[in-house]
């Protein structure tokens, strides 16, 4: 459906909801106002839903990032412990060979 068709369908729906009220009358303008308020409320609800999804995704990303950093730190610490042990063995081996 094109934008023009959507606009025509919306106008038709609005004119049906207004009924036989004369366009431009106070009743017609009030119905237009109420329709605009409903559209605004829907847009606000959609925006709040998107923001809530964004906040949730941000929290999940931060948790996963913290997990990844903790895992990296543990692997780095394990590597350093292995390296220190290997260096200590190497130094001890050299001492025994020198004797």
pLDDT classification of 4: cutoffs 50, 70, 90: low
* pTM (whole model) above 0.85: no
Helices (H) and strands (E) in the chain, counts: 2, 0
Asked if 14 and 21 touch (Cβ cutoff 8 Å), the reply is: no
Q: What is the pLDDT of residues 23-65, one digit of tens each?
A: 889 999 999 999 999 999 999 999 999 999 999 999 999 999 9
pLDDT exceeds 70 at position 92: yes
- State the Cα–Cα distance between residues 68 and 62, nearest whole angstrom: 10
């Amino acid at each position: 459906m094109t934008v023009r068709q959507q606009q025509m369908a919306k106008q038709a729906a609005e004119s049906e909801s207004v009924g036989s009220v004369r366009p431009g009358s106070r009743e017609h303008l009030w119905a237009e106002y109420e329709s605009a308020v409903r559209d605004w409320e829907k847009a606000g609800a959609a925006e709040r839903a998107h923001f809530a999804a964004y906040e949730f995704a941000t929290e999940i990303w931060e948790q996963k990032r913290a997990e990844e950093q903790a895992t990296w730190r543990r692997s780095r610490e394990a590597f350093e412990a292995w390296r220190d042990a290997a260096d200590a063995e190497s130094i001890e081996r050299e001492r025994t060979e020198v004797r």
